[in-house]
Amino acid sequence: MPHIKIREGEAFDRALRRFIKSCEKAGLMADIRKHQRYEKPSDARKRKSNAARRKMRKLIAIREE
């Protein structure tokens, strides 16, 4: 779990913002979203396959330009 050190005289809002940003950088929020509900293995394979297809289409479109 990410943690931050609160600086001398730092406002709570600013420290909270830094903590949230460090959580996002660590990928914690994405991981929590991913584990919120069960995903069948077949659905996971399908999602990964679709993501790979989108990535390849994007790479091909960039090369064509």
H-helix or E-strand spanning residue 34: helix 28-34
In this predicted structure, the answer to whether residue 41 has a pLDDT above a threshold of 90 is: yes
Q: Are 25 and 1 in contact (CB under 8 A)?
A: no
Sign of the alpha-carbon torsion through 50, 52, 54, 57: negative
Helix then strand count (H, E) for the chain reads: 3, 0
Return mean pLDDT, the chain: 92
pTM score: 0.54
- The position carrying tokens 């929020």 is 29
The letter for the amino acid at 44 is A
- Output the pLDDT for position 1: 76
Question: What pLDDT shows up at residue 34?
Answer: 85
Residue pair 23/41 in contact by the 8 Å Cβ criterion: no
